[in-house]
Amino acid sequence: MAQIFHRSANTLSRVTIFGAIFVAGFVLWTIGGIVRSPYFTNQGIHREQVVPFSHQHHVAGLGIDCRYCHTSVEVSNFAGIPPTSTCMNCHAQIWTNAEMLEPVRASYRTGQPLHWVRVHRLPDFVHFNHSIHVAKGVGCATCHGRVDRMNLMYQASPLTMEWCLDCHRAPEKYLRPKEEVFNMAYVAKDQATLGPQLVKKYAVRSLTHCSTCHY
C-alpha cells in the first residue's frame, strides 16, 4: 500500500502540535494582558464629571486637607463624597458667578443632588474599608496616586486583586507614619527600615484570607 502522507507530514504535525501549545499560551498571555490593561481596569482614564473639579487646584493650589471633603474616611468604609453644601461653604463667597460652577449652585438652589461619576469602583463582592487602612498608616496617595497633581480625577492604580495582595502580603513596603497619611508628597527616606518598624508599631498583620474582603 502506497504512502498516503508525504514525509513532510511528520514535520507538519510536529509544528502543528507545538504550534498549538504556543498559540494557546499566547492566547492566555493576551487575556492576562487585557484584564490587567487600563482598558479593563480603567486605570488612568479620566472621567467626564458634571463639574470639572480639579483636585490639583484644591489640594495643591489651596492646600485643602483630604478630610475637609472626604469626611468619613477615618470612621467608615466609605470615604464620603462631599454634599453640595461643602462646596458652597467657599463658593458662596468666591467664584459666585463662574459658569463652571452653575451645576453646584443649581443643586444648592433646587435641592437636587449632583451626580458624580464614580472613578474608583470595586466589584460588589469586594468589601473595602477606608477607615482601617487610614488607621494603619496607608497613605491616600499610596492607592489614589498624586491626587494633588490630577486636574481631572482618574484611577491611579489598577485595583486588581493582584495589586491589593501586593500590599496585603508585604505591608511594610508601603506603610507610612500615621501623621503622613494625608500628605500627598510624602516619600519615605528609608522604607526598608521604617516599614517593618511601622508594621510592629501599628500591629499591622498581613491579612490574605478570603473573608478579609470577600463575604
What's the rounded Cα separation, in Å, for the pair 43 and 194?
29
Q: Count the site residues for another protein by CB under 8 A.
A: 45
In the bound state with another protein, the residue whose beta carbon lies nearer, of 142 and 155, is: 155
Q: Which is nearer to another protein, 11 or 112 (CB)?
A: 112
DSSP 168: H
| Dmax (CA) of the chain | 98
Q: Which of 181, 141, 163, 134 is nearest to 55 (CA)?
A: 141
Q: Is 129 in the site for another protein (CB under 8 A)?
A: yes
According to the binding rule CB under 8 A, does residue 152 interact with another protein? Answer: no
12, 117, 165, 185: residue in contact with another protein (rule CB under 8 A):
117
User: Measured from the CB atom, is 129 or 193 closer to another protein?
Assistant: 129
List 43's β-bridge partners, or say none: 155
Task: Based on the shown chain and the rule CB under 8 A, indicate whether residue 155 belongs to the binding site for another protein.
Answer: no
- Asked whether position 157 contacts another protein by CB under 8 A, the answer is no
| Residue in 17, 24, 132, 185 binding another protein, rule: CB under 8 A | 132
Instruction: Decide if 140 contacts 184 (C-beta within 8 A).
Output: yes
Query: Under the criterion CB under 8 A, does residue 37 sit at the interface with another protein?
Result: no
Give the alpha-carbon dihedral of 21, 23, 27, 29, to 10 degrees. 70
Instruction: Please answer whether residues 104 and 88 qualify as being in contact, where contact means their C-beta atoms are separated by less than 8 angstroms.
Output: yes
Closer residue to another protein (CB): 54 or 72: 72
- Part in contact with another protein (CB under 8 A); list of ranges 113-121, 140-148, 171-179, 183-191: 113-121
Is 47 among the residues that bind another protein (CB under 8 A)? yes
- Cα angle 33, 139, 170 (rounded to 5 degrees) comes to 60
Site membership for another protein, residue 46 (CB under 8 A): no
Q: Is 93 exposed, middle or buried (0-12, 13-18, 19+ CB in 10 A)?
A: exposed
Binding mask 163-202 for another protein (x = CB under 8 A): ----------------------------------------
62/197 Cα distance (integer angstroms): 33
**What are phi and psi for residue 94, nearest 5 degrees?**
-120, 150
Residues lying near another protein in the complex (CB under 8 A)? 39-40, 42, 47, 71-72, 75-78, 80-85, 107-108, 111-118, 121, 123-125, 127, 129, 131-132, 135-136, 203, 205, 207, 209-212, 214-215
